[in-house]
Amino acid sequence: MSTFPCPLCDVALEIGTTKKQKPYMICEPCGLQIFVRYQKGIDRLEELSGREVSLMDGFVVCKSCDVAVRKSLHSIQEPLFGKAGLYCPSCEELLLKAPPNWKEKRKG
């Protein structure tokens, strides 16, 4: 049976099938239920299921307040008195420093 990582806690969830033969997942620790209803989503789930790559790889989590921030060049902030990088929207702590050439990459 294939698995898919929980988007909240990253635990591998077994993919079940509903009566109508649609995939679903339940994360017991989080209480999260995921039902995939449309064919486009089912196709994406089949493509991603069983991969070793975590969904959380595209995020950085603030250790102070447990807020996840997507790693993106468009999310980089450059404060007046601080380093350029990804900041927590809750506590404004620097989570990840920006790469040296981030401005050129953002334009392209």
- Segment 41-52, tens digit of pLDDT: 999 888 877 665
Q: What is the pLDDT of residues 79-107, one digit of tens each?
A: 888 899 989 999 999 988 988 888 887 77
Give residue 69's pLDDT.
83
Express each pLDDT in 11-23 by its tens digit: 888 999 999 999 9
Q: Which residue has the tokens 């620790």?
A: 29
Task: Tell me if the pTM is above 0.85.
Answer: no
pLDDT in tens, 52-77: 555 556 788 888 888 888 888 888 89
